[in-house]
Amino acid sequence: MRAPTISTLFVHVPMLVLASLASAQTGQVRTGAAAFADWKADGPGVRRLIRPSDLPPPLTGTDGEASIASSAEVIEPPSGALPKVPDGFAVQVFATGFKQPRTLRVAPNGDIFLSESRTGRVLVFRAGAAGAPATPEVFAENLDRPYGIVFQPPADPRYVYVAAANQVVRYAYRTGAVKATGPPEVVIGNIPTERHWTRDLAVSRDGKRLFLAVGSASNLAGGMPDMTPEQIRQHEQRHGRGAAWGPEENRAVVRVFDPKGATIRNYATGLRNCSGLAMQPGTDNVWCVVNERDHLGPHVPPDFMARIQDGGFYGWPWYYLGPHEDPALKGKRPDLKGTVRVPEVLFQAHSSALSVAFYDRAAFPAEYRGDAFVALHGSHSQPDRTGYKVIRVRMKAGRPTGEYEDFMTGFVVDNSRVWGRPAGLAVTRDGALLVSDDANGTIFRVAHR
């Protein structure tokens, strides 16, 4: 069965339009107050470095669900509009007509898998689709908001794992298959779906460990009953240091499990909403990008990208960025103050980081190899818009420098209206970068000319 109402445009099609190039390209790194400038300062090549010491004090209110702004209106793309990319790159519409396209993943043979969350489907583009017109096939359907996709074992997969909002399932797979040949096998069931529903996946190089991100059920752990210190100690022995409880049990975490789901535990805790997971190529380093809490002001705390450590605690809900205590929970967990890990890369607050993909091909200039791309879906708890772009996280010898650079911008019309929201990322076998826009149902392809 072929997916309906989806049209595709490819490299050789005459309708291809190269994106306009931004005048904002610069080698200067914005630090301090300049790093917090809103969308009007964005443009390919603009670089930022945000340090914990740059952050202003948080708001002191105790309403954990407070927000200081509202969502931008999504409009139809202006006629002929394409995002802006750096000099030397070209962007085109690769495919359009989707309903909430989110995660993109590339199989070892080059086939491109897409989770179309609103329709409950996983779709597949054949390898080489950028060079010959093709329509994606429906690999699987009838899922509850599918999101994360991984291939297991990674080098020669026998299964495709899909994380839906309520469960992780796997499908038997052979290389090149574009439709599941049997029903899904439930690997992890009964995942709670309240509030954050994006469940991303990653898999170790040997295929023996899989990682699952489960976001929180609230902005600030609402509804957790009081526990005694002894009860907390016993809870943490089972669930990890700083793990929340009550309706937040086994949420705001990254979990690790074996391929059959026979064993599962919390790998890292205190991650309000890790919406994107990725394994760093050539390593078993698992990274995630995180949406932080909303109620502490327009610049606090920053969203971030972090290497996830086994047993690591990242602060939520009691702390952020190491010893910084959330005023709404002041004095609740002094025992945790010295245990909070500080993320490697800080993004502007409320940018809503959704996905991360490392660049491990040779088609882009050599300085891109090993860097990471992150899709920033865009702010709502921020009066002056941030995000709505794809950024490049600079790496040196496999470690982030802390800097990030605008790579794809131009989706914001004004402070009230946007025409696109980047969501998913993938690097194709030929070295192009795919970006899904879930606001207007489009996938863009960026190539170096």
Inform me whether the pLDDT recorded for 340 exceeds 60: yes
What are 227-238's pLDDT values in tens digits?
Answer: 999 999 999 999
What pLDDT band is residue 28 in, cutting at 50, 70 and 90?
A: confident
Contact at 8 Å (CB) between 440 and 426? no
pLDDT at 71: 80
Inform me whether the pLDDT recorded for 19 exceeds 90: no
Q: What is the dihedral of CA 184, 185, 189, 193, to 10 degrees?
A: -20
Inform me whether the pLDDT recorded for 217 exceeds 50: yes
Phi, psi of 420 (to 5 degrees): -165, 155
pLDDT at 132: 45
Contact at 8 Å (CB) between 170 and 184? yes
Inform me whether the pLDDT recorded for 61 exceeds 80: no
Inform me whether the pLDDT recorded for 14 exceeds 90: no
Using alpha carbons only, how large is the chain's radius of gyration in Å?
A: 21
DSSP run (H or E) holding 412: strand 412-414
Inform me whether the pLDDT recorded for 102 exceeds 90: yes
pLDDT at 62: 65
pLDDT at 67: 65
Residues whose CB falls within 8 Å of the CB of residue 384, separated by 6 or more in sequence, listed in order: 38, 39, 298, 415
Mean pLDDT of 414-442: 96
Phi-psi region of 402 (alpha: psi -120 to 50; beta: other; left: phi over 0): left
Q: What percent of the chain has pLDDT over 90?
A: 84
Q: ∠ CA(189), CA(194), CA(195), 5° rounding?
A: 130
3-state secondary structure of 336: helix
User: From CA 7, how far away is CA 102, in angstroms rounded?
Assistant: 17
Mean pLDDT of 69-73: 80
Cα distance from N-terminal residue to C-terminal residue, the chain: 35
What pLDDT band is residue 127 in, cutting at 50, 70 and 90?
A: confident
Mean pLDDT of 65-74: 76
pLDDT at 60: 76
Inform me whether the pLDDT recorded for 150 exceeds 80: yes
Partner residues linked to 135 by β-bridges? none
User: From CA 225, how far away is CA 48, in angstroms rounded?
Assistant: 40
What are 242-275's pLDDT values in tens digits?
Answer: 999 999 999 999 999 999 999 999 999 999 999 9
What are 202-216's pLDDT values in tens digits?
Answer: 999 999 999 999 999
Inform me whether the pLDDT recorded for 240 exceeds 60: yes
| CA distances, 336 to each of 51, 248, 310 (Å) | 22, 18, 17
Residues whose CB falls within 8 Å of the CB of residue 160, separated by 6 or more in sequence, listed in order: 113, 122, 139, 149, 150, 151, 152, 170, 171, 173, 180
The number of beta carbons lying within 10 Å of the beta carbon of residue 288 is: 26
Inform me whether the pLDDT recorded for 219 exceeds 80: yes
Q: Which residue has the higher pLDDT, 379 or 109?
A: 109
What are 167-192's pLDDT values in tens digits?
Answer: 999 999 999 999 998 999 999 999 99
Q: What percent of the chain has pLDDT over 70?
A: 91
Output the average pLDDT for the chain: 91
